[in-house]
Structure 1
Amino acid sequence: MGTIEARRPRRSAGRLIRLVRFSVGLVWSAARAPFIWLVILQLSSGALLAGQVLAVQWVLNGILSISASSDAVATVSGAVVLLVVLTAATAIIGAVQTSLARYVGESVARAMWQRVLDVSTTVGLKSFESSEFFDRLERVRSSALTRPFLVTNGVIACIGAIAAGTGLAITLASFHPLLLPLLVLSGLPVLLTSRRESVLEFRFTVAQTQRIRRRQYTSILLTGREEAKEVRAFGLAANLRARFDGLYEKYLEALRAHLRQRARYSVIGQFTSAVVLGATLLTLVWLIATGGLDIASAGAALVAVRLLASQVQTLSGGIQTIFESGLFIDDLEEFIALAPAAPGVLEPATPLETAAIDAKNITFSYPGAASPAVDDVSVRIGAGQVIALVGENGSGKTTLAKIVGGLYPPDAGTISWNGVDASGIDARTVAASTAYIFQDFVHYAMEAETNIALGRADAAPDPARVRAAAAAAGADGFIEQLPGGYDTLLTRLFEGGTDLSGGQWQRLAIARAFYRNAPLVILDEPSAALDPRAEYDLFSSLRNTIKGRSALVISHRFSTVRNADRIYVMADGRVAEEGTHDELMRRGGIYADLFTLQASAYLSDAAPEHPAE
């Protein structure tokens, strides 16, 4: 963050060229034809402005000569018609430019979203454990996505201002050479004060990133479908509204202070510019009074001064936009650079046939954590074996499972698949060889068949495989009873959809993992939402269901893992014990204590309060 805050909008020809090249290159690739037309129209608009000034002079000359010439009325009429045509053409071009600019803006936004999504979907999962990554992502989403087009708009504005200004300057200089340098000077104050405004804007955005993210999160709590039940059950609305309003109020306080600072610089620049413009107009009056300009030329010069002043302001504003956006584009480019190098078009990865996995001396820490989540852990999963990880909350079970499946790279230690170091295997192959059932799995607002077929999203859905996976997970019965069967939209967020119970969603997630047909299945609390009978059915048939595939099962319910080939007991990020259920029970350690404690609770609940006499 310190390096971001220390940035300054360095104004140099090289930086200007780099910013323009990046932004125009992006717009060129996103909407080439509309962009070309925008530039053509901008140049045309500039030429029309110069033509309007000459038409005004023609009109004034005609008016002043009406009494002296019988042809003056026809001359004035022709000049007026020309002025009307030029004015109408300028207005029409402006309207067309507005529509084109809107289309180009949306095209650039899509192109930038594609780049941002390339980063967010390809960076390592560990990035999502870092608040700094989310800060950068938020800044990119809220500011930097629009900045390249703003720079391009600035470039287009500068092109138009230079084109129009050149024509107007030549016209104005033809009236009197003294007017032009005075008018050019009027744009310098704005250009100078805009430097400080650019720094203030970027600093404000960086400083408010965390507050904006918290406010957005609170708004999700207040408006989200999943959160709505708990907000009402606990009466959280007033508390969360107060938090939301407080965060917004602090943001507005900071915004008021920021806008006051910007306004001071803006007032100084604009006031000084207006003074110089006033000096130019006084010079024009002086020239008229001393006979340096005739009345018609003076009238046309007055119009030219006003139009050229506007173009100078446009040029200054365009340059300010380019440099102010430059800081955000730097941030955007750094974010885009986080994405791994694209390997080009690849065929879908082919999963390995078997999964015999050795994890040796694995250590892993989350960003900013004081101690490792997994510390020097070794586990082995034999081909076709069911291995269980048990332990209390926070013991490192889920983290270890994600490391084994390739979602987190270990800080130390090695993972090998079938005797080959995973670092030498294509990461896509490891991913294709692993099927996850997460405890907090996603409820996809899509059709039931699609929900399951997403298990192998790189290929077209196979209806027969979908139904086989659903049957293996015990989901086929309730899916076939849905209004549209496997074509039923599973959500109430959209018209015509329906929702499932928690247990049904869990069976669907299990079916998705089975559909993936990977040699390693990782099940993280797969029965959390299942009723006891469904849980018993799932685990009693697990070996038959996975059909020779390896499985890593995480569960707090010891009854579900007692038949595993090997059980690893984790505590404080380490393996405290390992063995079969019988071996661990005989050892009388942590596993035996936890198993007995859990079993006694069930037996106590099952025992009658008053035994029969």
Structure 2
Amino acid sequence: MGRAAVAGLRLTWRAARAGTVLLLVIAALGGAAVPVAAWLGKLLIDEIARGRAADERLAVGLALGAALVGSGAAVLTYVGTYVGVRVQRSVNLHVEDELNRSVNDLVGLRNFENPVFHDRLRLAAQGAQSAPSVLTELSIELVRKVLTIAGFVGALLAVWPLMGVLLVVAAVPAFLAQLAMSKRHAATVETMMNTVRRQFYYRSLITESQAAKEIRLFGLGDLFRARSREALASSSGAELAVRRRNLVVESGFSVLNAAVAAIGTAVVVASAVRGTVSIGDVSLFIAAVASLQGAFTSLIMQFGQVTESLKLFRHFVDLIGGEPDLVDGTVEAPPLRQGIELRDVWFRYDESSPWVLRGVTCTIPAGTAVGLVGVNGAGKSTLVKLLCRMYDPVRGSIHWDGTDLRELSAATVRRRTAAVFQDFMNYDLTAAENIGVGDLPGLADQARIERAAGVAEIDEKIRSLPQGYQTLLSQSFVDFAAFAAGAGSSGVNFSGGQWQRLAIARSLMRADADFMIMDEPSSGLDADAEHQLGTTLRTLRAGRTSLLISHRLNALRDADRIVVLAGGVVAEHGSHDELMVADGEYARLFRLQASSYQDERVALP
């Protein structure tokens, strides 16, 4: 926990040095002002109690001094609040950027496809949002409260030294109990995080547009609402149980503190009646006891909050300083001249999962178009992830012009690769941005964007939109450009096939890529569009290194070579004609598909 505390303080210092120093100065002045004001009040009461013998000038001066100190402390409180908000804002921006940078720096996909990582990520975000600010507040409060405590302890030493000792002794068990309670609450938060994420998931299904059609068609709203309520009840119930236990303990210590204060006050009042202490001493004593108990209680609560926050903040510290999910290479990937070779590649997602690939060996020669065939679950998309170096093989190796991909910089391999993934993204961005992100240096190059859209047969559709290429392709956010032009405030949404063409255009932004991967690029297209795209892709692939994955085997007929995956291994390979002659799995699948287009009446079961 010490490492997390140091990291939190360093983070705050880097994010807002001037503000942090100013807060410490304000805290010191504010902390000293409280006992000074109380002492001036004591002197004023004692002076007034002298009656006619009192020094009027001194009494007025003491009153003005107490008022000045009090008003100054009030102004410092407001200034401190403002500065604190600014420091908090700077820290939040810094934390958010650090968290995003750390996640973005993950080279591979292993963490993103692991639910435990998503629990840790949410805990890291939660801890990062609270720990630095809570830690800073504690540091500042520590300065303020130490000065306040020191001032009032000095005052108590002048009236009743034993009371100061009793207050400190009474605070120790409360402090230890608060630490234990905070650790217990943090452990509950960690334990319930998966349930909390599940509740957020069910809520997003109900409230967001992606699932709205199916939820209404199948009447799923009540089901997901009930599951959301159940998950929320489970997580909040666990937290409530911890809070209930804490309430009993905190109430017990409050009663103890009240008893100590009552006994002390009774003794001091009795002493005043006997004339052994002054009325001013009584007022100072009461103020000191109340302030000391308040200071101790506040510090104990804040120490508890810090303990809880630091326990969660460890996830942030571990995340930004953790081991990489994939050890990146240092050699820049050269232009592809020879080809890509897979040598006895074995892969599974973790040790408890079955093997997806079981010794795949094949070659994608430079300048050739290779088709990849296999039933669902054969490992085709997994192979694509390996070729893009999102994962490394568990056994075997993949070579780029003879160099193991592990030795090459993943970023340079990916820069030389263009891909349309089967599960491509629909970004809530403008049409131009949705295409331009395929090659960031060309994000502002409108001519390139329009050229890619034209090749993907989506240019005409985009030009027909209210704002053309600047139209927001989302109905989740307000399209301010459209609103300003009087075309409404909502963006537009594409059909599945139109989104697929947009994804193809995105990949075509890297028209000079050494290696093209097309994973089911026409699955969402109609027959005309598929035919047009097939013609376009054949032109693009001519003389280029490419891998085309498709369940529509007719789209692979012109491939230089076709590889058939079955059971995690290469079952057969060759040209279309060679595989048809071999009469194996490829021929069976091809004939099965062809039969569905023949003019026959098939009796359905």
Paired residue for 2:23? 38
Q: Is the 8 A contact 1:355 1:519 kept in 2?
A: no
By how many angstroms is 1:310 displaced?
Answer: 1.5
| Amino acid corresponding to residue 252 of structure 2 in structure 1 | I
Which amino acid in structure 1 is aligned with residue 537 of structure 2? L
Answer yes or no: is the 8 Å Cα contact 1:359–1:415 preserved in 2.
yes
- What whole-Å deviation, never above 9, does each CA across 1:122-171 have from its counterpart, x for those lacking one? 22201112121111112112334322221221122112111221122223
**TM-score of the aligned structures, taking structure 1 as reference length:** 0.90
The residue aligned with 1:249 is 233
Q: Report the CA distance shift for 1:522/1:157 in structure 2 as closer, same or farther (over 3 A).
A: same
1:280, 1:352 → 2: CA distance?
A: 84
Can you list the C-alpha shifts for 1:65-107, whole angstroms capped at 9, x where unaligned?
34334x53x5444433332322222222222222222222222
The residue that corresponds to 1:5 in the other structure is none
Letter in 2 for 1:563: D
Structure 2 counterpart of 1:499: 493
1:64 is displaced (CA, Å) by 1.2
Find out whether 1:542 has 2:545 as its counterpart: no
Residue of structure 1 equivalent to 2:162: 178
SS in 2 for 1:127: coil
Partner of 1:188: 172
Cα-to-partner distance string for 1:232-278 (whole Å, 9 max, x where unaligned): 12111111111111111222322221211222332333333333333
| 1:225 lines up with 2:209 in the alignment | yes
Contact 1:387 1:553 in 2 (8 A): yes
The reply to whether residue 109 of structure 1 matches residue 92 of structure 2 is yes
C-alpha contact (below 8 Å) 2:522/2:530 kept by paired residues = yes
Q: Give SS of 1:129's match.
A: coil
* Cα distance between partner residues in 2 of 1:286 and 1:576: 99
Report whether the alignment pairs 1:393 with 2:388: no
Match of 1:407 among 369, 373, 390: 390
Specify which of 273, 277, 281 is matched with residue 293 of structure 1: 277
The CA distance in 2 between the partners of 1:341 and 1:525, in whole Å, is 28
After TM superposition, list the pairs within 5 Å mapping 1:212-611 onto structure 2.
Answer: 212-338=196-322, 340=324, 352=335, 354=337, 356-367=339-350, 369-458=352-441, 460-493=443-476, 494-495=478-479, 496=482, 497-517=491-511, 518-546=513-541, 548-604=543-599
Output one character per residue of 1:302-333: Cα deviation in whole Å (capped at 9) or x when no partner: 21221122222223233333333332222222
- Distance in 1 separating the partners of 2:123 and 2:85: 22
Aligned residues of 1:563 and 1:581 also touching (Cα < 8 A): yes
**How far apart in 2 are the matches of 1:445 and 1:192?**
50
1:138 matches 2:156 = no
Distance 1:568 1:280 in 2: 89
Which residue in the other structure is 1:4 paired with?
A: none
1:337–1:406 distance in 2 versus 1, CA, 3 Å: same
CA distance in 1, matches of 2:541, 2:460: 20
Distance 2:602 2:298 in 1: 86
Q: How many residues align?
A: 589
Q: Secondary structure at the match of 1:153?
A: helix
184, 187, 202: which one aligns with 1:203 = 187
In structure 2, the CA distance between the partners of 1:95 and 1:183, relative to structure 1 (3 Å rule), is same
For 1:284, the aligned partner's letter is V
Q: Distance in 2 between matches of 1:170 and 1:541?
A: 87
Contact 2:121–2:315 at 8 Å: present in 1 too? Answer: no
SS at match of 2:547: strand
Structure 2 contact 333–408 (Cα < 8 Å) conserved? no
Give the Cα–Cα distance (whole angstroms) in 1 for the partners of residues 317 and 536 of structure 2: 51
2:49 to 58, 64, 68: 64
Q: In 1, distance between residues paired with 2:153 and 2:334?
A: 69
Secondary structure in structure 2 of the residue aligned to 1:541: helix
Show the counterpart of 2:105: 122
Judge conservation of contact 1:452–1:511 (CA < 8 Å) in 2: yes
Q: CA deviation at 1:388?
A: 1.4
Structure 1 residues 341 and 135: CA distance shift in structure 2, 3 A: closer
What SS does the aligned partner of 1:67 have?
helix
Q: Map Cα deviations across residues 36-71 of structure 1 (whole Å, 9 max, x no partner).
A: 1111111110111022112211331233134334x5
Distance between the aligned counterparts of 2:357 and 2:336, measured in 1? 28
Distance 1:80 1:459 in 2: 72
Matched residue type, 1:237: G
2:419–2:518 CA contact under 8 A, matched in 1? yes
Unaligned 5+ residue runs, structure 2?
483-490
Aligned position for 2:10: 25
Q: In 2, are the aligned partners of 1:192 and 1:269 still within 8 Å (CA)?
A: no
Q: Give the structure 2 partner of residue 50 of structure 1.
A: 35
In the TM superposition, residue 588 of structure 1 has moved relative to its aligned partner by: 1.5
Change (3 A) 1:25 1:65: same
Amino acid aligned to 2:64: V
Q: Using a 3 Å threshold, how does the CA distance of structure 1 residues 283 and 332 change in structure 2: closer, same or farther?
A: farther
Are the counterparts in 1 of residues 102 and 320 from structure 2 also a CA contact under 8 Å?
yes
> What 5-or-longer segments of structure 1 have no aligned partner?
1-8, 10-14
The amino acid across from 1:189 in the alignment is: P
- Larger deviation: 114-123 or 583-592? 114-123
TM-score of the two chains, using structure 2 as the length reference: 0.91
**8 Å Cα contact 1:197/1:265 also seen in 2:** no
Contact 2:437 2:443 in 1 (8 A): no
Give me the CA root mean square deviation: 2.6
Distance 2:326 2:38 in 1: 54
Q: Aligned in 2, Cα 1:574/1:505: closer, same or farther, shift over 3 Å?
A: same
CA contact (8 A) 1:514 1:546 kept: no
Question: What is the rounded CA distance, in whole Å, between the counterparts of 1:281 and 1:76 in structure 2?
Answer: 26
- Change over 3 Å in CA distance of 1:342–1:565 after alignment to 2: closer
Distance 1:49 1:367 in 2: 61
Structure 1 counterpart of 2:487:
none
Structure 1 residues 354 and 446: alpha-carbon distance in aligned structure 2, compared to 1, 3 A threshold: farther
Other-structure match for 2:485: none
Alpha-carbon distance in structure 2 between the residues aligned to 1:435 and 1:155 = 51
- Cα distance in 1 for residues equivalent to 2:429 and 2:128: 31
Alpha carbons of structure 1 residues 289 and 582: separation in structure 2 relative to 1, 3 Å: same
SS at match of 2:211: helix
8 A contact 1:186–1:273 mirrored in 2? yes
Q: In the superposition, relative to structure 1, how do residues 602 and 280 fare at CA in structure 2: closer, same or farther (>3 Å)?
A: farther
**What letter matches 1:362 in structure 2?**
V
